[in-house]
Amino acid sequence: MGFLSGKKLLITGVLSNRSIAYGIAKACHEQGAELAFSYVGERFKDRITEFAADFGSKLIFDCDVGDDAQIDKLFADLAQTWPRFDGFVHSIGFAPREAIAGDFLEGLSREGFKIAHDISAYSFPAMAKAALPYLNDKSALLTLTYLGAERALPNYNTMGLAKASLEASVRYTAASLGPKGMRVNGISAGPIKTLAASGIKGFGKMLSAVADASPIRRNVTIEEVGNVAAFLLSDLASGVTAEITYVDGGFSNVVAGMAE
């Protein structure tokens, strides 16, 4: 019996066993949650089927969050098995390569801005809106963000603007759903080598700079993010909403470059 026993949770964004969503699925499974998964792209179906099986689940759904019809279909299809469920994890981010490399203004374009915000920010409250008819009281929603929402970090650029919007959406969605007893939170994770992160120019350098400057002197793991996610999705966190919780080894609270 874990602290998520009896909870049914949808996990988006598992693409590899290095995905942050994989670490979240692992922790939620260990705490007794039943899991369903969404992914994007038919070519990943076999891989996601195997990942779902790791967590005792056969529920997988193809959903591109850039398309409202696919978001609606995801929840309608899920309702065939789970007429009601207890929340979801939004672990999705995307920006065109030129929008996350080099000089911010050089890489800036209206199209890049639109895509980054559409896929990485709008999709979270859009999913909350579409899921609402199927969510139990005391449901919890969670998204993943990064320090680049608040600070200008090298190369993160347009994605930083999208993450700032995503963090604002956590607060507004929490205000909207709070009276119904539902909670909405974000985790700001430290850098972790995943497929999405590899798209950010100079990511390896960012990893080592953060490890050197963090109070814990290393990078965080997907398991560490997963454990905090499991807590935030559980009734143990019943008093926590509209919050961004940092799982970053303390990096965001110290001045970089001054460690002994």
Does position 112 bind ligand NAD by CB under 6 A?
A: no
Which residues are CB-contacts of 155 (< 8 A; sequence separation ≥ 6)?
100, 101, 102, 200, 201, 202, 203, 206
Nearest 10 degrees: CA dihedral of 220, 64, 184, 32? -70
Which of 35, 59, 65, 141 lies at the binding interface for ligand NAD (CB under 6 A)?
A: 65
Is 205 annotated in a binding site? The answer is no
Which of 10, 144, 174, 210 lies at the binding interface for ligand NAD (CB under 6 A)?
A: 144
At 176, is the secondary structure helix, strand, or coil?
A: helix
172 a catalytic residue: no
146 a catalytic residue: yes
| Calpha distance 208→204 (Å, rounded) | 7
Is 64 annotated in a binding site? The answer is yes
When the beta carbons of 84 and 114 are compared against ligand NAD, the nearer one is: 114
Which of 4, 8, 9, 19 lies at the binding interface for ligand NAD (CB under 6 A)?
A: 19
Does position 192 bind ligand NAD by CB under 6 A?
A: yes
- Contact (CB, 8 A) for 85 and 9: yes
Does position 196 bind ligand NAD by CB under 6 A?
A: yes
Question: Rounded to 5 degrees, what angle do the CA atoms 249, 253, 254 make?
Answer: 95
Q: Which residues are catalytic?
A: 146, 156
Known binding-site residues for NAD(+) equal 13, 19-20, 64-65, 92, 163, 192-196
